[in-house]
Structure 1
Amino acid sequence: MLSGSNDEEQDIMFFHRVDSDEIIYQTEKKSCKIIGKYVMGDLLGEGSYGKVKEMLDSETLCRRAVKILKRRKLRRIPNGEQNVQREIQLLKTLRHKNVIELVDVMYNPEKEKMYLVMEYCVGVLQEMLESTANKKFPNWQAHWYFIQLIEGLQYLHSSGIIHKDIKPGNLLITLDDTLKISDLGVAEALDRFAPDDTCYTSQGSPAFQPPEIANGMEKFSGFKVDIWSSGVTLYNLVTGKYPFEGGTIFKLFECIGQGDVVIPEELEDQLIDLLKGMLHKNPELRIPLENIIRHPWVIRKPPKTLERVPIPPLRGDELHTMTVLPYLYDYHYGDQSSSTQYISERQLNEEKKISMQEACTNNKGSSSKKACKSDGRQTSCLNMRKLASCHPS
């Protein structure tokens, strides 16, 4: 009987409570992945069509970005495959400093993957706007990006291409602050023998569509659609708002089609005049691109101030350091350090507290004080992107 009771005691399981901040996590080991002549880096972003990663051209040592598209995913998106093929065909013919360049296209039939190798950009205008408290740029910075947008748009129109989806989310920024028009998935190339720029379809973002599309016109001027969406973009850059808003697409289109544009009076007169011309409800009276280029607000150079919206850091890295380097080091030398990197939530939050104190010391404005208070929350290892693949050690 005694031996039986001892066996029962041995079978009893004990659970010890451990605080989450005491758990030690091991970071994921970086293993080098090479596709063709390109070395893959970290994830830059992710959209409805697929992932975007950094990569390095091993022959030219040029930094690139690659869109990784899966055919299985594209089939689930309306016109997904057609839009991608259209973008590839258009970008192959385009070369301009303010239009994103398609460098290479690769296919993997076995995995049904497509790789679009593009110029490397460090930021998106939309993300820059969202990183500020008032969601807008200072006047000189908005002017700088707008004139680049117009130069890129002039090139597209001269090439017979209508973008149809101009918006801050499709305007990328390079390391040297050059704007690149991207995402030509819904763009349309006019027939070279077409008598005018008449279009019959539109798939652009609803908030940037002109009244003629909102009111359901069967045909419309493609160039004037881009003028309107560029006007909405400029309005957004200088005010932090949209000229028309609605809780549903139906209400939004009703406002665009029937409402009047209200431009804030605090804007300078020349800018107000330009916005009124670009956002004219009648497409025939909407200011043409050649007049925008000669407009007084576009020609003049606003005084540059110290106020500036920086490109948001990528996972805390303000310098946007090349993420391919750790993979290259591992490939050539074997990155022994990555296999022994451990971190706990307590260490993570201690580092965060120190960096917060330094930031609060360096920035003593009222807005920074709010940020100091709001960012005092504890961080979890499981929620850290750079530790997304970590596991309890």
Structure 2
Amino acid sequence: MVEVKETLDATYTETDDGDRTLNDYSLTNILGSGSFGVVYLGINSKTGAKYAIKEFSKTRLRKKDMFSRQAFGFRGRGRGRGRGIGGPPQPPPSAIEYIRGEVAILKKLNHPNIIKLYEVLDDPRQDSLYMVMELCEKGVVMDVGLDKTCDPYSEDAARKLFCQAVLGIEYLHEHEISHRDIKPDNLLLTSDDVLKIVDFGVSEMFVASGNDRSKKSAGSPAFFAPEMCVAHHGEMSMKACDVWALGVTLHCLVFGKLPFVAVSILELYEVIRTAVPEIPKTASRELRNLIEQMLEKDPEKRISIAGIKTHHWLTQDGKQTLPSTHENTDSIGTRITHVTEDEM
């Protein structure tokens, strides 16, 4: 279990000159922003250590929590202690309770390709909640979107990044966690080019040992698997959905663009379900084959993580061998167990 400090009485201050502090952290440059809030570069005034400090709006978190209660009859991802809509009234949760599931999962993760969480802080006088995380100095591997293309990586450079992502996802799946939002935005690089998987806000523990089925759709639409793009869909394999999103991510890395684009969400869903992505002729035969297998419309026929690890493109026809599943998962730390009520 990774030790994560929780500070419920933090103090955030901002001077007239714009200098921001949060307890022992000086908040300097803005590293990024999104619907959740802002990510700052944080420097510990006592040690000089640098961190990424992610700010959440408690107001937005409360609205998200209320939607989850109404839509699913429980709070968050189903591991919380709240009753269903018809149960007795519950007292309003503390702010940290809104991200308790994500914090509980991150406490259990110990892998070189998964981001580390060090501290969670709440200033009860402010609207913000903060997560102090490992700093990835080089930022996202690629800033690509429906209306934005990027310079692609070479196949060799993409392979080095992709191998790390595969090992991180294998670790999660072997410990019965699905990320649910794999995309270049959620793959960050440290100063020495170590890839870190981030943002476990919609991640799910499997409902039971070996059972990765879920009816919930989660993640970013451009990375949705075809089986998620159907109204009133039934249960889906979360691992197969992660593999699809990883395939879309690989397409982005080597071609600098998304394989499926459209002007509306409904049209995007239709394209994902029916269209065959164009793969440039410049792609190697092995790369083309891997992408086609990862973007297989039928989840039952889609390649698995185990298949990806031994694919000719990833291994360079056997010249490169990835760590075995045992080496990649069991030897790094204590095997993960399900999130318990006490950990929540």
Normalising by the residue count of structure 2, what TM-score does the alignment of the two structures yield? 0.73
Equivalence for 1:204:
219
Equivalence for 2:341:
none
Matches of 1:250 and 1:233 in 2, distance apart?
A: 21
Deviation at 1:86, TM superposition (A): 2.5
Which is richer in helix?
Answer: 1
Deviation at 1:38, TM superposition (A): 2.2
2:23 to 26, 32, 36: 36
- State how 1:89-104 maps to structure 2 within 5 Å: 89-104=104-119
SS at match of 1:298: helix
For residue 97 of structure 1, what is the amino acid of its counterpart?
P
Equivalence for 1:138:
154
* Contact 1:143/1:302, CA 8 A, preserved across alignment: no
Equivalence for 1:68:
55
For residue 66 of structure 1, what is the amino acid of its counterpart?
I
Structure 1 residue ranges (4+ consecutive) displaced by more than 6 angstroms after TM superposition: none
Deviations 1:205-238 (A, max 9, x none): 1111111111242111010000000000001111
- State how 1:143-222 maps to structure 2 within 5 Å: 143-191=159-207, 193-216=208-231, 217-222=233-238
* Contact 2:152/2:254, CA 8 A, preserved across alignment: yes
- State how 1:256-275 maps to structure 2 within 5 Å: 256-275=272-291
Q: State the identity as a percent.
A: 35
SS at match of 2:283: coil
Normalising by the residue count of structure 1, what TM-score does the alignment of the two structures yield? 0.64
List runs of 5+ in structure 2 lacking aligned partners. Answer: 1-14, 70-74, 77-97, 320-344
SS at match of 2:53: strand
Equivalence for 2:301:
285
* Contact 2:180/2:218, CA 8 A, preserved across alignment: yes
Deviation at 1:135, TM superposition (A): 3.0
Deviation at 1:261, TM superposition (A): 3.3
Deviation at 1:84, TM superposition (A): 3.2
* Contact 2:152/2:253, CA 8 A, preserved across alignment: yes
Aligned-residue Cα RMSD (Å) equals 2.7
List runs of 5+ in structure 1 lacking aligned partners. Answer: 1-27, 304-393
For residue 267 of structure 1, what is the amino acid of its counterpart?
A
Equivalence for 1:113:
128
* Contact 1:129/1:240, CA 8 A, preserved across alignment: no
* Contact 1:39/1:58, CA 8 A, preserved across alignment: yes
Question: How many residue pairs were aligned?
Answer: 274
Deviation at 1:278, TM superposition (A): 0.7
Matches of 2:21 and 2:253 in 1, distance apart?
A: 39
CA distance 1:172–1:228, shift in 2 (3 Å): same
CA distance 1:31–1:204, shift in 2 (3 Å): closer
Deviations 1:151-210 (A, max 9, x none): 11111111111011100111111111111111111111113x434211110221111111
CA distance 1:241–1:29, shift in 2 (3 Å): same
